[in-house]
Amino acid sequence: MNSTNDTKELISILEQSFDIKDFTTPKKNEISIVVDQNNVPTILTYLKDKGWKQLSLVTCIDWIEENKFELAYVLFNWTNGITFLVKTKIDRKNPEYISIIDIFPGARYYERDIHEFFGVKFEGNSDFEKPLFLELWDDKPPMRKDFDPLEYSKRKFPDRKYDVELSKNAVKEVIKEGEINERT
């Protein structure tokens, strides 16, 4: 079976039927497409039908300057070993998206993960709001770019105090003593 011909055909079909904004092959055996957010469930269903049966990862990227969250779905095909990346951008201010657990049930935990670290709400996933990793979290989601970990760490965990000025003076005194000894 020649997999490259198959994928070319598949891409042409996808381009005809959906509005694909970008198409790249970042690596050998890897295809990446950027699509409109309304088309994602249909494309995922189509790809699952074509052999991309494993959902390897769902993850989120924070593009703070564009004011967008990018959701990336990574699918894997076990017959020809081709990885498929489906990416889409959603609004950052009020991030809500459709859950894909009807298509890939394994996405349940990935969506909980994304909700916890980025604050994206997934409609259709019954327990996306349950905490998974962070216990008793009381700040904005930590993987957002505008979250300041140092400020949080300073507020939450007491820091060890170092007397910097005192140690600087001590070093200066030692140097002075050395100079005096050299002169005499």
* Site residues for another protein per CB under 8 A: 130, 133-136, 139, 142, 147, 149-150, 152-153, 156-160
Least distance from another protein to the Cβ atom of residue 166, Å: 17
Q: Which is nearer to another protein, 95 or 141 (CB)?
A: 141
Q: Which is nearer to another protein, 131 or 178 (CB)?
A: 131
Q: Which is nearer to another protein, 26 or 158 (CB)?
A: 158
Least distance from another protein to the Cβ atom of residue 143, Å: 10
Q: Which is nearer to another protein, 21 or 130 (CB)?
A: 130
Single out the residue of 25, 21, 93 nearest to residue 62, CA to CA.
93
Amino acid at 165: E
Amino acid at 45: T
Amino acid at 150: L
177: left (phi over 0), alpha (psi -120 to 50) or beta: alpha
Least distance from another protein to the Cβ atom of residue 120, Å: 19
Least distance from another protein to the Cβ atom of residue 131, Å: 8
Least distance from another protein to the Cβ atom of residue 71, Å: 23
